[in-house]
Amino acid sequence: MLSSEASRWPNVRQAPTQPPVCLTHCFAHPKISVQVSSHVTEDPRLGQIEELSGQTVADCYQCGCCTAGCPIGTAMDPPPSKAIRLLQLGRAGELLASEGIWLCASCLVCGTRCPRGVDYARIAEACRAIVLRGRHSRVDPDTVTEPDLEEIPQQAFMASFRKFSV
Reduced to 3 states (helix: H, G, I; strand: E, B; else coil), residue 101 is helix
Number of other residues whose CB lies within 10 A of the CB of residue 132: 14
Does residue 121 register a pLDDT over 80? yes
Number of other residues whose CB lies within 10 A of the CB of residue 74: 9
Q: What is the mean pLDDT of the chain?
A: 79
Instruction: Quickly list DSSP for 105-158.
Output: ----HHHHH-TT---HHHHHHHHHHHHHHHSS-PPPGGG--HHHHHHS-HHHHH
d(CA 46, CA 44): 5
d(CA 3, CA 9): 10
Does residue 19 register a pLDDT over 80? no
Choose from 17-21, 34-38, 109-113 the range with maximum mean pLDDT. Answer: 109-113
For residue 106, CA distances in Å to 76, 147, 160 come to 13, 37, 20
- pLDDT of the residue at 117: 94
Q: Which amino acid is at 73?
A: G
Choose from 39-48, 104-113, 146-155 the range with maximum mean pLDDT. Answer: 104-113
Higher pLDDT, 103 or 1: 103
- pLDDT of the residue at 12: 61
Higher pLDDT, 98 or 137: 98
Reduced to 3 states (helix: H, G, I; strand: E, B; else coil), residue 54 is coil
* Percent share of the chain, pLDDT over 90: 42
pTM over 0.75: no
For residue 147, is the peptide bond before it cis, meaning its omega torsion is within 30 degrees of 0? Answer: no
Helices (H) and strands (E) in the chain, counts: 11, 0
Burial class (CB in 10 A: 0-12, 13-18, 19+), 155: exposed
